[in-house]
């Protein structure tokens, strides 16, 4: 049963409920707006915003009108020229003129009577459409509009242009949107009145009407248009409020102290071959502060690649073990889980801790032993993949869950993980340098610790752009590098959407390189059985193979300090954040590193600018901001795949500044009226339902 306020019913009704929308149109609108699990609804039509406006203002005279563009002209009708009898398929032409020249209007298969009715000889008409030059004459094929004086006066000067589908023109969509706007119910104002006034924002319904009245203003102006901003803010508030409600609920669950006297933490730190950076020490103090407090921790540990997050995660887990709890670290891939296990294991065992690995492919006996150890509490720390949070895995007393490379997980998994213990503290570690605006969007008001300092002694990476034509030189350079004892990653590109094709590319390259380097070349890719992947990684780590050809499986987290060269083929096809992640696999040891970005020319201006950015900087934040500008937010976080709801109206590249305001507002609402029962609270429920963030509302019932 849906608890959706009934005031919203007309908006959630299918488009077929609109007058004038018959089955044929429904099918077309469905094609444009439906999702696999629902038909096109009135709401979807209303949120289908025009992406441009065409001006219908008069554009000078016929002689001045630029060919190839949409124009509106005031003309006299001079002469009709029907198709000759012997060529009935020829077009019907009507000659029109003004004082500067003439235009031939061309009609195919339009009933003659209709043409004569629209364009009587001798009358004045307003025509708009695209002017073309044909055979030395001006013509216009099927004008969009043919209007008399009165109709022209009634026409809006700018017409909205909508994303269309075959058989459904922009004009028709505009008509149905008009009908839909007519059904808009009177809804309570959910925004703070003072805030609206201060920012000069119109009421929701006015704003929605206004954005459908497109303007032909340049994009910079329409981006800042108050109507569009109002709608964007509504959507951002809905999402921030939903996140705040989830968080509020988690916070309200009783927490407990999950850190002890620090003896394990100190022992671990003493055993490290290096000292913590200032940033690591700061983050650790913040985390221990949260663990000590009897509220739940929900903290993001954000640090660029190579900043040293893993050891902070380990120290956080050790803190919980001190308090008599267990700890879990979850990684997005088996390779990563195993790597964490191999690095963390020896350190933790050295201070007397029991550590286990749990992935989807452990042998049955191993797995049984691990499960028993988790249940009895004999295992203190477990490292694993998603497998950790399957049904049937029980802990004696889980105190903290550390999630590495969070952006690969959805919010749902995060919540599932919280459910594994009575009050599990959660530390999310992310290597993707997420711009602040995005962090807010996806994690809401999480606490954040930032590792803004790299471990001492890191050498900068030299990055070069090299054309594909020079592959021979690259191979020669690689040969010299491995002679000198260096290890090389060779990354093959992501082609289209097809893993099969990617694989073929990597396998081909592997074969090519074997011709030169024989057994010194290894191959790793996502489709390999897990054991083979481990083996390939092991051989590379121990320098049995010196060149590792891979698809992008090494993108996240892999740590082989002796690897100092990376070749990335078709670098122009990667996102910047992804290139940054990849490149972060080198430059980890004391030796200096080189990254060769191979591209297939000629490069467009944007592609070149992007690759230049990579050459110029290693600053992940700067790179991420550039990426955001160039690609949009979904791709950075990989959320297209993970199915997080995106935004329909807000655009983070231009509305990012509103996000902080929405977050603050949501927090204030939670402080004053966390059950949403005040007048504004009830209006906010309408908002949440309208933007389909109603999962959050259910928490009100549950808790
Ligand atoms: P990331 O933040 O990308 O996950 P890692 O945790 O994998 O980084 O650490 C990268 C490398 O830096 C590892 O080899 C780790 O041992 C090393 N490292 C971590 N902290 C320090 C430090 N304070 N000083 C020197 N090396 C460090
Ligand atoms: Mg890492």
The string of pLDDT tens digits covering residues 400-436 is 999 887 554 444 455 555 555 557 888 888 876 555 5
Looking at the chain, how many residues does it have? 703
In the chain, DSSP finds a helix count (H) and a strand count (E) of 28, 22
The DSSP H or E segment spanning 221 is: helix 219-223
| C-alpha of residue 334 to centroid of ligand 2, in Å | 13
The distance in angstroms from the start CA to the end CA of the chain is: 18
3-class DSSP state of 161: strand
| C-alpha of residue 349 to centroid of ligand 1, in Å | 19
Q: Strand pairing partners for 697? A: none
pLDDT in tens, 276-318: 999 999 999 999 999 998 877 878 898 887 889 999 999 999 9
Residue 3, C-beta contacts closer than 8 angstroms, at least 6 positions apart: 694, 697, 698, 701
- Given a contact cutoff of 8 angstroms between Cβ atoms, the answer to whether 493 and 501 are in contact is no
Ligand 1 pocket test: pick from 279, 310, 554 the residue with the most ligand atoms within 8 Å of its Cβ: 310
CA–CA gap between residue 56 and residue 157 (Å, rounded): 5
- Given a contact cutoff of 8 angstroms between Cβ atoms, the answer to whether 42 and 10 are in contact is yes
- Cβ of 309 below 6 Å from ligand 1: yes
- Cβ of 432 below 6 Å from ligand 1: no
Q: Phi, psi (5° rounding) for residue 138?
A: -85, 135
The DSSP H or E segment spanning 25 is: helix 23-33
Ligand 1 pocket test: pick from 272, 453, 455, 561 the residue with the most ligand atoms within 8 Å of its Cβ: 455
Angle, alpha carbons 107-80-106 (nearest 5°): 20
Q: What are the distances in angstroms from CA 667 to CA 205, 671, 677?
A: 25, 6, 16
Residue 672 half-sphere exposure, CB side, CA atoms within 13 Å? 11
Residue nearest to atom 5 of ligand 1 (CA): 308
What is 538-593 written as a DSSP string?
HHHHTTSSSEEEESGGGSSS---TTEEEEEETTGGGS-HHHHHHHHTTSS-SSS-E
For residue 312, give the ligand 1 atom closest to its CA. Answer: 6
Query: Which stretches in the chain have pLDDT values below 50?
Result: 1, 408-412, 496-497, 632-645, 702-703
Which spans in 98-216 are helix H? Answer: 112-118, 149-154, 170-182, 193-198, 204-212
CA–CA gap between residue 489 and residue 476 (Å, rounded): 15
Q: How many CB atoms lie within 10 A of CB 693?
A: 20
DSSP-derived secondary structure letter, 421 = S
- Given a contact cutoff of 8 angstroms between Cβ atoms, the answer to whether 588 and 511 are in contact is no
Q: Phi, psi (5° rounding) for residue 579?
A: -60, -40
Question: What are 263's two structure tokens?
Answer: 């003896």
CA-based nearest residue to 470, from 579, 600, 603, 616: 600
Return the beta strands (E) in 476-592 as ranges: 487-491, 521-524, 547-550, 563-568
Residue nearest to atom 17 of ligand 1 (CA): 308
Ligand approaching nearest to the C-alpha of 313: 1
- Cβ of 561 below 6 Å from ligand 1: yes
3-class DSSP state of 597: strand
Ligand approaching nearest to the C-alpha of 276: 1
- Cβ of 240 below 6 Å from ligand 1: no
CA–CA gap between residue 662 and residue 233 (Å, rounded): 7
Ligand approaching nearest to the C-alpha of 308: 1
Q: Which residues of 27-51 are buried (b: 16+ CB within 10 A; e: fewer)?
A: ebbbebbbeeeeebbbbbbbbbbbe
The DSSP H or E segment spanning 93 is: strand 92-98
Question: What are 181's two structure tokens?
Answer: 């706007």
Any idea which residue has 């563009």 for tokens? 69
pLDDT in tens, 54-70: 777 777 788 888 887 77
User: Going edge to edge, which strands form the sheet with 593-599?
Assistant: 461-467, 593-599, 563-568, 487-491, 547-550, 521-524
Q: Strand pairing partners for 92? A: 107
Q: What are the distances in angstroms from CA 112 to CA 107, 109, 128, 371, 421?
A: 9, 8, 20, 82, 78
Q: What are the distances in angstroms from CA 364 to CA 260, 358, 359?
A: 35, 11, 11
Question: What are 234's two structure tokens?
Answer: 């509504």
- Cβ of 96 below 6 Å from ligand 1: no
For residue 588, give the ligand 1 atom closest to its CA. Answer: 11
How do 563-568 and 521-524 pair as beta strands?
unpaired
| C-alpha of residue 557 to centroid of ligand 2, in Å | 4
| C-alpha of residue 311 to centroid of ligand 2, in Å | 9
- Cβ of 431 below 6 Å from ligand 1: yes
CA-based nearest residue to 341, from 400, 280, 390, 382: 382
- Cβ of 620 below 6 Å from ligand 1: no
CA–CA gap between residue 521 and residue 487 (Å, rounded): 10
- Cβ of 516 below 6 Å from ligand 1: no
| C-alpha of residue 282 to centroid of ligand 1, in Å | 15
| C-alpha of residue 111 to centroid of ligand 1, in Å | 77
Ligand approaching nearest to the C-alpha of 342: 1
Taken in order of first residue, the domains within the chain and their CATH numbers are 6-53+163-215 (no CATH), 57-155 (2.40.50.140), 230-252+659-701 (no CATH), 263-451 (3.40.50.300), 461-617 (3.40.50.300)
The DSSP H or E segment spanning 132 is: strand 132-134
- Cα 392 to chain centroid distance, Å, stands at 33
- Cβ of 311 below 6 Å from ligand 1: yes
Angle, alpha carbons 145-148-152 (nearest 5°): 65
Angle, alpha carbons 535-539-545 (nearest 5°): 135
Question: What are 643's two structure tokens?
Answer: 């199915």
| C-alpha of residue 432 to centroid of ligand 1, in Å | 15
CA–CA gap between residue 355 and residue 343 (Å, rounded): 11
Q: Phi, psi (5° rounding) for residue 310?
A: -55, -45
Question: What are 641's two structure tokens?
Answer: 């795949």
| C-alpha of residue 454 to centroid of ligand 1, in Å | 8
Q: How many CB atoms lie within 10 A of CB 293?
A: 15
Ligand approaching nearest to the C-alpha of 406: 2
| C-alpha of residue 557 to centroid of ligand 1, in Å | 11
- Cβ of 493 below 6 Å from ligand 1: no
Residue 535, C-beta contacts closer than 8 angstroms, at least 6 positions apart: none
Ligand approaching nearest to the C-alpha of 331: 2
- pLDDT number for residue 88: 79
- Cβ of 277 below 6 Å from ligand 1: yes
């Amino acid at each position: 049963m849906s608890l959706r306020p009934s005031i919203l019913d007309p908006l959630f009704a299918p488009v077929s409920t609109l007058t004038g929308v018959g089955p044929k149109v429904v099918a077309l609108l469905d094609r444009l707006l439906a999702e696999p699990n629902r038909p096109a609804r009135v709401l979807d039509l209303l949120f289908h915003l025009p992406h441009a406006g065409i001006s219908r203002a008069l554009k000078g005279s016929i002689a001045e009108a630029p060919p190839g563009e949409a124009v509106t002209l005031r003309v006299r009708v001079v002469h009709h020229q029907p198709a000759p009898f012997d060529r009935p398929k020829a077009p019907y032409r009507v000659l029109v003129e003004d004082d500067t020249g003439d235009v031939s209007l061309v009609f195919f298969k339009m009933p003659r009577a209709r043409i004569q009715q629209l364009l009587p000889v001798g009358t004045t008409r307003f025509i708009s459409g695209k002017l073309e030059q044909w055979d030395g004459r001006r013509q216009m094929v099927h004008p969009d509009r043919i209007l008399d004086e009165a109709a022209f006066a009634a026409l809006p000067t700018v017409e909205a242009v909508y994303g269309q589908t075959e058989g459904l023109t922009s004009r028709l969509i505009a008509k149905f949107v008009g009908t839909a706007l007519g059904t808009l119910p009177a809804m309570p104002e959910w925004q703070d009145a003072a805030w609206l006034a201060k920012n000069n924002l119109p009421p929701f319904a006015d704003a929605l009407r206004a954005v459908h009245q497109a303007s032909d203003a340049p994009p910079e102006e329409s981006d800042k248009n108050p109507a569009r901003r109002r709608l964007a803010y509504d959507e951002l508030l809905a999402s921030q409020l939903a996140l705040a409600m989830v968080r509020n609920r988690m916070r309200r669950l009783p927490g407990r102290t999950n850190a002890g006297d620090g003896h394990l933490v100190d022992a671990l730190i003493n055993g490290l071959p290096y000292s913590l950076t200032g940033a690591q020490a700061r983050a650790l103090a913040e985390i221990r502060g949260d663990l000590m407090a009897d509220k739940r921790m929900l903290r993001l540990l954000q640090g660029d690649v190579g900043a040293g997050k893993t050891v902070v995660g380990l120290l956080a887990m050790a803190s919980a073990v001190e308090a008599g709890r267990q700890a879990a670290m979850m990684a997005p891939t088996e390779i990563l889980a195993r790597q964490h296990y191999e690095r963390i294991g020896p350190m933790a065992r050295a201070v007397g801790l029991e550590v286990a690995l749990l992935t989807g492919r452990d042998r049955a006996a191993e797995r049984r032993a691990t499960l028993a150890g988790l249940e009895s509490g004999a295992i203190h720390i477990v490292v694993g993949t998603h497998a950790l949070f399957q049904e049937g895995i029980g802990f004696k007393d889980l105190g903290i869950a550390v999630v590495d490379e969070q952006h690969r997980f959805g919010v749902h998994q995060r919540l599932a993980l919280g459910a594994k213990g009575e009050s599990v503290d959660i530390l999310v570690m992310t290597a993707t340098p997420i711009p602040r605006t995005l962090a807010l969007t996806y994690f809401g008001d999480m606490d954040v610790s930032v590792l803004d300092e790299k471990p001492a002694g890191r050498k900068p990476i030299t990055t070069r752009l090299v054309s594909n034509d020079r592959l021979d030189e690259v191979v020669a350079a690689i040969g010299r590098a491995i002679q000198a004892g260096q290890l090389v990653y060779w990354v093959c590109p992501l082609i289209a959407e097809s893993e099969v094709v990617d694989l073929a590319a990597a396998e081909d390259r592997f074969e090519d390189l074997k011709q030169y380097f024989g057994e010194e070349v290894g191959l790793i890719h996502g489709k390999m059985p897990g054991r083979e992947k481990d083996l390939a990684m092991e051989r590379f780590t121990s320098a049995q193979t010196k060149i590792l050809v891979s698809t992008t499986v090494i993108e996240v987290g892999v740590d082989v300090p002796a690897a100092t060269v990376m070749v990335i083929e078709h670098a122009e096809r990667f996102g910047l954040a992804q290139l940054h992640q990849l490149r972060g696999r080198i430059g980890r040891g004391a030796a200096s590193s080189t990254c060769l970005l191979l591209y297939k020319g000629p490069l467009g201006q944007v592609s070149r600018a992007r690759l230049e950015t990579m050459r110029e900087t290693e600053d992940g934040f700067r790179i991420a901001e550039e990426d955001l500008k160039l690609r949009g937010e979904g791709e950075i976080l990989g959320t297209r795949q993970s199915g997080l709801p995106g935004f329909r109206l807000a655009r983070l590249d231009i509305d990012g500044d509103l996000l902080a305001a929405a977050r603050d507002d949501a927090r204030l609402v939670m402080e004053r009226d966390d059950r949403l029962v005040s007048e504004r609270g009830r209006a906010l429920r309408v908002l949440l339902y309208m933007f389909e963030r109603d999962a959050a509302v259910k928490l009100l019932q549950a808790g």
